[in-house]
């Protein structure tokens, strides 16, 4: 029996979880603040209290997504180039709600500081050296980074929309390894 309390404990967390679940189940276009609050069992005004408005809620989810993605990519980095790509696809499959909202720019509060910082962190891994403005790295590395990013991002979308031919591996990690093998190894590093 769930204890009903006036103070939820961690309502912010619960709302973010609920909106991610709602997006996964019903799609990013159908999500509403009221429905999410209903799922959590709280008044919809409570959601407004935490996030301001709908864009605020979704922006917070997108920022969290970029943070988690960045953490996953950073953790994979020591294992090398390929494993970063594997981690990318893994993230998309494990967090489809976050992933959907991260790239749906028109739903987000655009000049949001937390979101921008989180974005910077995840793209720092994807575009190695993007942070070092002073001394840009080898242009060839840049195109290699974009190629890798494009490939894993597109692959993630393929997997999420169920468009991968069935002869290929079901497991996202194995699939990524097989598909990314068609990428030439980057010249340096």
Q: CB count, 10 Å around CB of 111?
A: 7
25 binds DNA (CB under 7 A): no
50 binds a copy of itself (CB under 8 A): no
Tell which one of 43, 110, 116, 143 touches DNA (CB under 7 A): 43
Least Cβ distance, residue 68 to DNA (angstroms): 23
34 binds DNA (CB under 7 A): yes
Tell which one of 13, 79, 154, 171 touches a copy of itself (CB under 8 A): 154
Tell which one of 21, 24, 39, 55 touches DNA (CB under 7 A): 55
Token output for 40: 């959590």
Within 70-129, which residues bind a copy of itself (CB under 8 A)?
A: 103-107, 123, 127
């Amino acid at each position: 029996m769930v204890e009903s309390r006036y103070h939820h404990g961690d309502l912010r967390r619960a709302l973010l979880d609920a909106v991610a679940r709602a997006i996964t189940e019903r799609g990013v276009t159908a999500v509403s603040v009221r429905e999410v609050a209903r799922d959590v069992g709280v008044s919809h005004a409570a959601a407004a209290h935490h996030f301001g408005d709908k864009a605020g809620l979704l922006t917070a989810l997108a920022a969290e997504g970029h943070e988690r993605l960045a953490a996953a990519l950073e953790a994979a980095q020591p294992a090398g180039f390929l494993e970063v790509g594997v981690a990318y696809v893994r993230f998309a499959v494990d967090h489809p709600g976050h992933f959907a909202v991260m790239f749906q720019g028109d739903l987000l509060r655009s000049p949001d500081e937390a979101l921008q910082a989180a974005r910077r962190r995840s793209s720092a891994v994807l575009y190695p050296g993007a942070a070092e403005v002073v001394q840009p790295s080898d242009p060839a590395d840049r195109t290699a980074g974009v190629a890798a990013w494009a490939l894993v991002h597109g692959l993630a979308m393929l997997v999420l929309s169920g468009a991968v031919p069935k002869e290929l591996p079901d497991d996202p990690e194995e699939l990524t390894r097989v598909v990314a093998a068609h990428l030439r190894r980057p010249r340096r590093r």
